[in-house]
Structures are given as structure tokens and as C-alpha cells.
Amino acid sequence: MKTRIGIVGAGNVGATCAHISLMKNLGDIYLLDIAADMAKGKAIDLNQSKFLFGSDAAVDGGDDYSKLIDSDIIVITAGLARKPGMTRDDLLFKNFDIIKDVSLKIKQSKRTPIVIVVSNPLDIMAYTVYRITGFPRNRVLGMAGVLDTYRFYHNIQNRLNTPYKYMDSMILGSHGDTMVPLISQTKIAGKFIEKMLPAEEINALADRARNGGAEIVSLLKTGSAYYAPAASVVRMMESILTGRKGTLPCSVYTEGDYGYKDIFLGLPVQLGPNGLAKVVNIKLSEAEKKALDMSAASIAEQIAKIKDRI
């Protein structure tokens, strides 16, 4: 039986996620949107593209949650995108209501799907989904750290002309201004980056990754990034559906991990067929742990604003 992938939101991120999943033949896809005809139209277009990739997957589209909730994986991309000058936190209350409604509908599933949350502010929206659905911790994940790490890789590659396979790094914490690049763990072809570049230059590369989403928003003018976010979702799905190995930074519900509780926070994890397989312990520098504490505190502050609405 084919894997079933449901995607909530047929906008740029959702449709691109569907397209990459189709290329990789990960499973049949249902693309859901309140604009049902748009979702149907994109589904037809996607189906007509699959022959190039030799894919046997099928894409359907519409606004029928009964076709979505029995998916094996549900990706939530619904919500408002940032506009120039708008921070991720500005989206908090506007997107909370949208994600709460989606979560109540997904809760009706009899299969307890694995849910990957992409909507911003990411960590707070993942917490919302977790609390409202009541799904087990391992089956609600937030996509953020993979994207932020890819942005860091892009900056490193531009500076050092390094092939992707020789880069090793990770960004933890929130998907926002307090994200934490693990400089102490960043290696290029086995060499620590701190031995290759001066600290101020490394920090500049990390800061550009931290502000990578805002940089794209400022250039696009009428939208936000979608190619890299969609690719990052698919990377997570590959670990879940195909067993592709590797430690990934994902936002997960904390139960004492790294000293944090009752928040969603980007941590190094391994994924498997049941979603979260385990949180991986990585030695952080003193500065990195302090920065992660600040990131966790920032997320907890935002979660407190929506707790009485759940």
C-alpha cells in the first residue's frame, strides 16, 4: 500500500513540497486548501509533470479534510506569510487561529499521522498542534533547523567553495532571531571552521543564515521563501519514509531534553518510521548552551501568550 502524504496549504511551500515529493516518488499526495479549485488545478498540473521523473505517485487536490486525515504524514504549511517589516512573532495570533482550526480537524484521524509543522512562528505553532491534537510527542515535529542549517551551508559554500558533502554543521533553538548556530561543531572537510576563518567572518555567515528568511522577504516583496523550506520538509520525510539516516535539527516537544520542558525547541534528533526516534546529545560550548537557554526562554514567553487559547 502506498504511503499517503497530506499537505495543508497549496501555496508556494505546500505545492513545492508536493512537487519534490512527487519527484522522489514518496507516496500519493492530497493537497488541501480553502481555495479548493486552486488546489485541484495545481494537483492536475503536478500529475502532468510526474512522467519526467518516472513517478507512479498520484496527486489530488481540494478542500476535503476526509481525504487528508487518513494520511501517514500531514505537512501543515497553512497560514499567513511574512511581509516586509513583519517579524515571525508578528504572525503569532493571526496564525494561531488558523493552526488551531486545522489541528481540530486533524485530530479526527483514526491513524494518528505524523505531523510536520512548517507554519510560523514555527515552534509555537508546533506546540499548538501538539496540544490540540493530543498526538504522542514523537508524532508532532517542527521543520526549522534543517532549513536554517541549509541557509548556513549556502553561506559557507559561497565563502569557501566547499562541496555540500564536506560540510557538517547544525543550527538549533528557535526558528527566529534567537536560533543557535553550532560554530564549535562546524567542520569543513573534517577541519573545524574556527581554524579556517576568523571569528568575525564566521559570525557574519551565521548572522546571514539567522536573517536568511527576512533577506528573501525583502527581495521578493510579496512573499517569502518556499524552495528551501519545501526541500527541508522533504528531507525530514525521507528519514521517516525511506530510512535515510542522519541527525537532523528539528523542533520537538521537550520533556527534560537538554534541561528544557514543555516547549517546542530545535534540537538534534534522529527520525524513523514513527517520527521522532530519539533526541541526540551533542556537547555544546558554554556560549552555545547560554544562547540555547535564551532561545528556549523566548519560545516559552511566546507560548505563554497562547496557552489560554488552546
Query: Which three cell numbers, joined as nine digits, stand for 58?
Result: 498520484
d(CA 165, CA 150): 12
Chain centroid to CA 38: how far? Answer: 24
Q: Which helix (H) or strand (E) holds 167?
A: strand 167-168
9 and 74 in contact (C-beta within 8 Å)?
no
Query: Which three cell numbers, joined as nine digits, stand for 37?
Result: 479549485
Q: What is the DSSP letter of 138?
A: G
d(CA 74, CA 172): 23
Any idea which residues carry the catalytic annotation?
175
Strand order in the sheet with 191-192: 167-168, 187-188, 191-192
Collapsing DSSP to helix, strand or coil, 266 comes out as: strand
